[in-house]
Amino acid sequence: MLCGIKFCGGCNPRYDRLSAAVKLKSLFEGEAEFGYAEENVPYDLLLVIGGCTNCCASHEQYMTKNGVVKMWDESHIEDICSRIRNIIKMEEN
């Protein structure tokens, strides 16, 4: 599974966005690959990591098979993990 990560510009971060991304990567080591989102790359999932509730980073320029998940607080990690696990299960079947 390939997950693209798009960070906001960081004008008003309320938590350590990079630390949250590193945590997600570590939870799926060997199951999913994470990398900075690039145009013209088809991702299984695009993760937009915003620093505040605006979560204003643009993402329309990226290709994704299973949609976009937005995160603007560390408390979203559990829900994001659930979504990633569901996609992995679908791909295995």
pLDDT along the chain (93 residues), means of 10: 95 92 95 96 96 92 96 95 93 83
How far is it, in rounded angstroms, from Cα 66 to Cα 43? 8
Number of domains into which the chain is organized: 1
- Given a contact cutoff of 8 angstroms between Cβ atoms, the answer to whether 71 and 49 are in contact is yes
How far is it, in rounded angstroms, from Cα 91 to Cα 19? 27
Which residues, including other chains, have CB under 8 Å from residue 3's CB and lie 6 or more apart?
A: 32, 33, 34, 35, 43, 44, 45, 46, 47, 84
Residue 92: predicted pLDDT: 85
What is residue 9's DSSP assignment?
A: -
Q: Provide the residue range defining the domain that includes 19.
A: 2-92
HSE, side-chain direction, 13 A CA sphere, residue 20: 24
> Is the whole-model pTM more than 0.85?
yes
Residue 12: predicted pLDDT: 86
